[in-house]
């Protein structure tokens, strides 16, 4: 291909999900049968809204490029012998990419006979230097990790995370059907949960401070708090308020039902705000309450588009304020959603992403 602003690229996005997530999603009602065509299963899985799902694919297609998304640890894919030249798209055409994009830098080591194309990666965790070497480009949402990745041997670019409104549409459409005047329609999702958290807790090397903060909030507001997620929890208030896991559309359903949702950053984030929940929660119209960070205003204006707290004592204080001022809670939720949809969608990020790819 000819690289340049006018060039049309073929981009293959390669993802891998948490352990047991694929099995859980493929066991949901409406999932394709195990012997269904590989593309049918891939497309269905991509549309379940887990992680980055097919959001990057959708965004770059909207800008005129060809794209596909493949979950490497789906049981019908074998990353040890599946190379991009063996991947076929929905029309059963051989998909030979100009760019392969890995969501997990460690996944590349499982490939044999990689095609001659550009290889780039997203890096949102503390990858080792060996896995960070030899890329044509690495994108990270951690501003304080850019220099480390460059020093490991790959060009690195800062790129914020994002939200795709299609997740809300798909989640609403997946609700149980009820009779309507013009035929059956999905059941409306009501904001019936006052305070929630969805994510991981309990692993001290990952979320020590965040677990303490949320556990204290769950204790103070035990009657109004529920959480979904995973991880070892020893505090009684967390055990009593646990609702199970929430992958894919279930995750978004919880956010759409939540008036207020909590966010915690892992130790890897350092002083910075950086996780997908910031964008997903505000994109779904929740009032986001999150720990303070030096770059928060670049994402959401503190106390205007989100509520920030310094420690577990301040978190309780902010929640008491929100409990007694519902108008303020609604104003923050509306302002956060407006900012997210105006600046933080995959449609916005894809323009930055493609500008860099076109210069490789």
In tens, the pLDDT along 116-140 reads: 789 999 997 778 888 999 999 999 9
User: Alpha-carbon distance 44 to 177, whole Å?
Assistant: 20
Paired strand residues for 139: 122, 157
CATH number of 10-162+346-357, picked from 1.20.140, 3.40.50, 2.60.40, 2.10.240: 3.40.50
Residues whose CB falls within 8 Å of the CB of residue 159, separated by 6 or more in sequence, listed in order: 122, 139, 140, 141, 349, 352, 353
Residues 26-85 pLDDT 10s: 999 999 999 998 889 999 999 999 999 999 999 999 999 999 999 999 998 876 555 544
CA 259 – CA 246 distance, rounded (Å) = 17
**φ and ψ of 325, to 5 deg:** -140, 80
How far, in Å, CA of 7 to CA of 3, rounded?
Answer: 6
pLDDT tops 60 at residue 223: yes
What pLDDT is recorded for position 92? 64
Question: What stretch of H or E contains 248?
Answer: none
**Rounded to an integer, what distance in angstroms lies between the CA atom of residue 240 and that of residue 360?**
52
CATH (one of 3.40.50.2000, 3.40.50.620, 3.40.640.10, 3.40.47.10) for 166-343: 3.40.50.2000
Q: How confident is the model at residue 298 (pLDDT cuts 50, 70, 90)?
A: very high
Position 81 scores a pLDDT of: 54
Q: How far apart are CA 332 and CA 310, in angstroms?
A: 18
Beta bridge partners of 15: 71
Q: What is the mean pLDDT of residues 107-118?
A: 72
- SS3 state of residue 205: helix
Torsion of CA 206, 210, 215, 217, to 10 degrees: -170
Q: Which two structure tokens, joined as six digits, stand for 254?
A: 């919880």
Q: How sure is the predictor about 235, in pLDDT bands with cuts at 50, 70 and 90?
A: confident
pLDDT of residue 209: 85
What's the average model confidence in pLDDT over 233-261? Answer: 95
Q: Averaged over 148-163, what is the pLDDT?
A: 96
Contact call for residues 331 and 276 (beta carbons, < 8 A): no
Between 344 and 86, name the one with better pLDDT. 344
Please spell the DSSP secondary structure of 280-315, one letter per residue.
Answer: HHHHTT-EEEEE--TTHHHHS-BTTTBEEESSHHHH
Domain residue limits, the chain: 10-162+346-357, 166-343
Cα 163 to Cα 284: distance, rounded to the nearest angstrom? 9
Count other Cβ atoms within 10 Å, centred on residue 184.
Answer: 9
Domains 10-162+346-357 and 166-343 agree in fold: yes
Closest CA to 213 of 288, 294, 311: 311
pLDDT at 64: 96
**What percent of the chain shows pLDDT beyond 70?**
92
């Amino acid at each position: 291909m000819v690289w340049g602003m006018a060039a049309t690229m073929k981009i293959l996005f390669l993802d891998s999900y948490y352990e047991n997530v694929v099995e859980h999603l493929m066991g949901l009602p409406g999932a394709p049968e195990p012997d269904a065509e590989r593309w049918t299963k891939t497309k269905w899985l991509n549309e379940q809204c887990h992680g980055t799902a097919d959001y990057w694919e959708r965004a770059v297609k909207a800008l005129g490029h060809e794209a596909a998304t493949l979950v490497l640890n789906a049981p019908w894919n074998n990353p040890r012998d599946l190379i991009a030249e063996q991947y076929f798209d929905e029309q059963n055409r051989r998909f030979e990419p100009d760019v392969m994009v890995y969501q997990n830098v460690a996944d590349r080591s499982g490939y044999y006979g990689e095609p001659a194309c550009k290889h780039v990666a997203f890096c949102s965790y503390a990858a080792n230097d060996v896995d960070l070497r030899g890329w044509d480009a690495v994108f990270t949402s951690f501003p304080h990790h850019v220099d480390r990745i460059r020093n490991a041997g790959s060009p690195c670019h800062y790129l914020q995370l994002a939200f795709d409104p299609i997740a809300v549409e798909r989640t609403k459409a997946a609700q149980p059907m009820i009779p309507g005047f013009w035929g059956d329609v999905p059941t409306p999702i009501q904001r019936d949960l006052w305070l929630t958290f969805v994510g991981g807790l309990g692993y001290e090397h990952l979320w020590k401070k965040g677990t303490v903060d949320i556990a204290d909030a769950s204790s103070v507001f035990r009657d109004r708090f529920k959480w979904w997620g995973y991880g070892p929890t020893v505090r009684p208030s967390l055990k009593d308020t646990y609702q199970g896991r929430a992958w894919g559309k279930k995750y978004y359903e919880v956010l759409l039902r939540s008036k207020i949702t909590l966010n915690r950053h892992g130790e890897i984030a350092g002083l910075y705000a950086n996780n997908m929940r910031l964008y997903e929660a505000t994109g779904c119209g929740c009032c986001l309450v999150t720990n303070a960070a030096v770059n928060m205003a670049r994402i959401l204006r503190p106390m205007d588009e989100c509520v920030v707290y310094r420690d577990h004592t301040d978190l309780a204080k902010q929640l008491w304020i929100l409990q007694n001022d519902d108008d303020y809670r609604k104003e923050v939720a509306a302002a956060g959603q407006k900012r997210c949809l105006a600046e933080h969608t995959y449609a916005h990020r894809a323009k930055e992403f493609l500008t860099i790819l076109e210069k490789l």
